[in-house]
């Protein structure tokens, strides 16, 4: 989505990867993402882990979803957000998690989510490999 208009009396332009105000440009580059697709991570506060299958350079969910997070632990929007094939002791699901709430998983174990076999070609060295033909 591209948005243009006025901000602080200056022309502004915003797309998911770039924000321009007047003459200053701020790029939201995937180079700034701390984690990568195929990496197994765990949540900093809650008891679940998962494998990353997509990354948003900044928050890209609904305002309602964001407001549903308790304010005391609500993450900033201006950071990468990760889509995970997640698991906990109750089962598997898809999670959307801010970078500040993720830590590398050090177990070296694969994730038991059934979709890992669809999206990834294999698991070795604690990392999943995307299928060569898989796109999102």
51-85 confidence digits (pLDDT tens) = 999 999 999 999 999 999 999 889 999 999 999 99
Give the CATH fold of the 33-130 domain: SH3 type barrels. (2.30.30)
Q: How confident is the model at residue 31 (pLDDT cuts 50, 70, 90)?
A: low
- Confidence (pLDDT) at 132: 83
**Rounded to an integer, what distance in angstroms lies between the CA atom of residue 117 and that of residue 39?**
15
- Confidence (pLDDT) at 62: 96
Q: How confident is the model at residue 109 (pLDDT cuts 50, 70, 90)?
A: very high
pLDDT (tens digit per residue) in 6-30: 334 443 334 444 443 444 444 444 4
Structure tokens at 66: 């964001």
Is the pLDDT score of 104 beyond 60? yes
Helix (H) or strand (E) holding 27: strand 24-27
According to DSSP, the residues that pair with 41 across neighbouring strands are 50, 104
Higher pLDDT, 136 or 109: 109
Pairing of strands 102-104, 91-98: unpaired
Q: What secondary structure, in 3-state letters, does 87-105 show?
A: EECCEEEEEEEEHHHEEEC
Query: Is the pTM higher than 0.85?
Result: no
- Confidence (pLDDT) at 19: 40
Q: Where are the domains of the chain?
A: 1-29, 33-130
Give me the helices (H) in the chain, please: 63-67, 116-119
């Amino acid at each position: 989505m591209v948005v243009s208009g006025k901000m602080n009396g200056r022309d502004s332009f915003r797309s998911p990867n770039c924000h321009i105000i007047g003459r200053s440009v701020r790029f939201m580059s995937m180079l700034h993402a701390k984690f990568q697709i195929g990496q197994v991570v765990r949540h900093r506060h809650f008891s679940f882990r998962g494998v990353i299958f997509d990354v948003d350079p900044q928050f890209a969910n609904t305002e309602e979803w964001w407001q549903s997070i308790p304010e005391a632990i609500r993450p900033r929007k201006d950071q990468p957000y990760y889509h995970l094939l997640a698991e906990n002791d109750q089962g598997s699901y898809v999670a959307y998690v801010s970078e500040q709430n993720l830590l590398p998983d050090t177990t070296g174990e694969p994730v038991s989510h059934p979709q890992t076999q669809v999206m990834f070609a294999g698991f070795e060295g604690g990392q999943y490999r995307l299928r060569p033909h898989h796109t999102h």
